[in-house]
Amino acid sequence: MAKRKKEEEINNNPLADNVHIKGAGSVQSEIITDTLKSNYMPYAMSVILSRAIPEIDGLKPSHRKLLYTMYNMGLLQGSTIKSANIVGRTMQLNPHGDAAIYETMVRLSRGNESLLYPYIESKGNFGKAYSKNMMYAASRYTEAKLAAICHELFDDIKSDTVDFVPNYDNSMTEPTLLPVTFPTILCNVTTGIAVGMASSIASFNLKEICDTTVALMKNPDHVVSDTLIAPDFVGGGYILYDKDELEKIYSTGRGSVKVRAKYSYDKKYNCIDITQIPPTTTSEAIIDKIIELVKTNKIKEINDVRDETDLSGLKITIDLKRGINPDIFMAKLYKMTPLQDSFSCNFNVLIKGRPMVLGVKSILLEWIDFRLECIRRRITFNLEKKRKQLHLLKGLSKILLDIDKAIKIVRETESESEVVPNLMIGFGIDEIQAEYVAEIKLRHLNREYILKRIKDIEQLETDIADLEATLSSKNKMKKIIISELDAVSKKYDKGRRSEVLYEIADEEIIDVVEIPDYPVTLFLSEQGYLKKIKTANLRMSGEQKLKEGDKMLPETECSNKDELLFFTNKQQVYKSKVDDFADTKASVLGEYVASKLEMSEDEQLVYMAVLSEYSGYMIFVFENGKLAKVDVSAYATKTNRKKLINAYSSKSALAQALYIKEDTDIVICSSAGRMLLVNTAGILPKATKDTQGIAAMKLKKTHKVTSIHLYQQGEFEKEWRFRAKNLPAAGALPSENDVAEQITF
């Protein structure tokens, strides 16, 4: 009865199938780090090493398997074949579905326009990288073959230049890398997202990359930016040149490149045609954004926008309303749409199985090492081949001494297996040479044939000596690489696609947003905190809040539409608008100007000028007594540049700066207590910002200029004592009746 009850319990137990498994049905505790190591880490490493990150030959495993399959199919020559056939054959190396393999082929094709130097010549609809709606046709409808540039990927592959490994089912072998003859890693855009890391490599012009590589081989200290101008994208557009950012990319492998769309204006139809866009966006995304801006009334200048892309290429047409300036309107679109975008660089490359983020220079040096190894292996392969051939011919030369003897030995040997040993004994040659002689056809056992073959011995000995000399000299191997790079550059370079705009470095797009106009009062503290308070609210404001030890400078009344020039101790000026600072109240500290304008850590604000227009003068007085008068128009730019260098002279320390709308009297003060009254009308203004100015105040060696300020009528009892007839002048000491001592500098 008990036994029967036990059986019923087992039959009714949902875990009955596992009753014989130890621990089945119970909760097991595991250490999370152990689980991650055993389950998650192998997956992460597989994605990093075998899927997402490119290697030094510029290819991911899926790319390499596809191209190598096409090479084995003989598609480097001849006509195109069906893509479905190629996809099916690639499955022998790539254990993925046909859809994933075909997508890889599409991206590598010329028709898709994803790569600056495509590896696959396509026939049929392969879609377009710049359009998400223009999808590629199925593989049964399209055809493909390898592009001519693939000769540079495969010509050395049969010379033992790279290692081969078994494929996933051990039925064939595949190369671990391709022996590329130029740095493909930097010639095509490559992006990939792995586990815990990603890669985003910009493309560069082939000639510039080859020239830079050659220069680095000749001089490892070569400055990359001297020969490598900027990235180059298949979609063209404008590269906004930023030297500092490019230097950062070249040295660290991280940074961003601003790319702007290219357009033309058709005056006849009053429309803008956009024909080249950044690589990070699509035509649909641009059009959708423009439509969104129109619906929200942020753009009112257009009548219509449409996609007119056809067989001739990309084209987005924007119909303008009458009287609209196309250049100003496009400046607005650059700011508000993806027509200007940044390509983020993260040069993460697998180097000998290890992911490493490297700058352009480091990647090229790694590629040079890789290519040197390929050349060494190729020379070694050819050397061994020629040595074997020479060895055989030397054996054949001994037969020449007595051909009849060789024929007699073969004829009189009863057993076939004894032919080779008897030839070895008869002529004193080794087994390999004897086997070679024994395999010679009867018709070739004549003096003429053997003499012709033996003539190659001298050439082979010369070739072997040359190969051995090259193999022992790293410089000679480098010369081979240089000659190959020069040949590749001449053969495949077709000029830059992306045009570089130098004159707008460090510039932002023109601010075209309508700025509200109302009176405000600016409060700037000595430590660089700025408050903007509406003048209408100023009466209700309480005491100004300040950091401990800080002090408020004289307030300034202005308009919200005015501009600000912030001069720093690094001879730089940062441009901003009053509207860029938020309205606030007296009870807050305000915005820290250095942080908002992204000044460097050791940069300090020395003066703020408020301008309603670019007229008037900047007065700079230096500790050495010199005074510079610079026309404010020198700080005006056609576009809204945020920072200008060489804002004033660096020859001497700045004592103080002062903005004046028109010529007026100013007072220069020295550490000796002397004061000099000068009218700025007597000083010629300069258009050069960093002018040293003129000598204004005579100083003794131990004294220096400390400050300047606007002259107040009645400040001096006897004004003529302080006013100079000629400059430079020493000035005068104030008397007891002068009120100058009451002025705070």
Output phi, psi for 125, to 5 deg.
-85, 105
- Of 85, 50, 52, 64, residue with least CA distance to 157: 64
The token pair that represents 336 in the structure block: 């508000």
The helix/strand/coil state of 585 is: coil
Q: Could you give the maximum distance between any two Cα atoms of the chain, in Å?
A: 139
CA torsion angle 434 440 443 448 (round to 10): -70
CA distance 719 to 737: 12
Complete edge-to-edge strand list for the sheet that includes strand 120-123: 81-82, 143-146, 120-123
By the 8 A CB rule, do 706 and 745 touch? yes
Whether 141 sits among the annotated catalytic residues: the reply is: yes
The helix/strand/coil state of 151 is: helix
Considering the candidates 40, 119, 136, 141, report the single residue annotated as catalytic: 141
By the 8 A CB rule, do 493 and 206 touch? yes
Dihedral sign from CA coordinates of 245, 246, 251, 253: positive
Count of alpha carbons within 13 angstroms of residue 598, beta-carbon side: 5
- Of 466, 584, 596, residue with least CA distance to 533: 584
- H-only helix segments in 525-641: 593-596
- Of 575, 526, 216, residue with least CA distance to 371: 216
Query: Regarding beta strands 529-534 and 519-524, do their DSSP bridges make them parallel or antiparallel, or are they unpaired?
Result: antiparallel
- Of 283, 274, 265, residue with least CA distance to 327: 265
**Residues for the chain: how many in total?**
745
- H-only helix segments in 109-185: 151-154
By the 8 A CB rule, do 136 and 125 touch? yes
- Of 185, 175, 182, 202, residue with least CA distance to 66: 175
Give how far the C-alpha of residue 108 lies from the chain's centroid of Cα atoms, to the nearest Å. 20
Q: Which helix (H) or strand (E) holds 561?
A: none
The token pair that represents 487 in the structure block: 């040949």
- Of 705, 734, 721, residue with least CA distance to 628: 705
CA distance 504 to 73: 50
CA distance 275 to 85: 35
By the 8 A CB rule, do 377 and 324 touch? no
The token pair that represents 413 in the structure block: 């040997």
By the 8 A CB rule, do 186 and 230 touch? no
Q: Which helix (H) or strand (E) holds 668?
A: strand 665-670
Give how far the C-alpha of residue 364 lies from the chain's centroid of Cα atoms, to the nearest Å. 14
Local structure of residue 554 (DSSP, 8 states): P
Residues paired with 501 in a beta bridge:
240
CA distance 407 to 423: 10
Alpha-carbon separation of residue 709 from 85, 413, 676, 691, 743 (angstroms): 84, 120, 11, 21, 9
Give how far the C-alpha of residue 508 lies from the chain's centroid of Cα atoms, to the nearest Å. 19
Catalytic residues: 141
